[in-house]
Amino acid sequence: MSNNWQVYKVINFDSSKKWEGPLSDDGYSLFGIHDREGRQCILAPKKDWVGCIRHGSNNTLQTIAGGAEYKVKLRNSCTIRNPYELMLPSICWMDYCQGMLYITDMIGDLIILVKS
């Protein structure tokens, strides 16, 4: 599967600066986020990945980040560039602005994706 997203930056915040927020028990959330091409970006908080709906004849859901096996107490490395290597065990927020997708995680990471 082709993926034209890459990790722009990972910022590790310490435990005193965690974002608190509700997590969905099931299903997807944040269907209201759209990229410049109008694709809906979604997150699956309990499934550890972020995706976009590729509009067209079949409107397929494409994973764009996450899916790496979560290793307890480990954080995402600030040197990761492949979005499929990201651990996203507890995604809590996402926003798209000026060509960048911002994702926060309850473990304190801020991940910024940019299209390559």
DSSP 28-80: -EEEEEE-TT-PEEEEETTTTEEEEEE-SSS-EEEEEEE-PPP-TT----TT-
> What mean pLDDT do residues 101-113 have?
86
* Percent share of the chain, pLDDT over 90: 10
Q: What confidence score (pLDDT) does residue 31 get?
A: 56
Per the listing, tokens 């979604």 go with 42
Residue-number span of the structural domain to which 32 is assigned: 5-115
Mean of all residue pLDDT scores within the chain: 75
Q: HSE of 81 in the Cβ direction (CA atoms, 13 Å)?
A: 1
Which one has a higher pLDDT value, 48 or 11? 48
51 vs 18: CA distance, rounded Å = 23
pLDDT in tens, 46-89: 667 888 877 766 777 788 888 888 877 788 899 999 999 998 87
Amino acid present at 98 = Q
7 vs 41: CA distance, rounded Å = 16
pLDDT in tens, 96-105: 888 888 988 8
Q: How many domains does the chain have?
A: 1
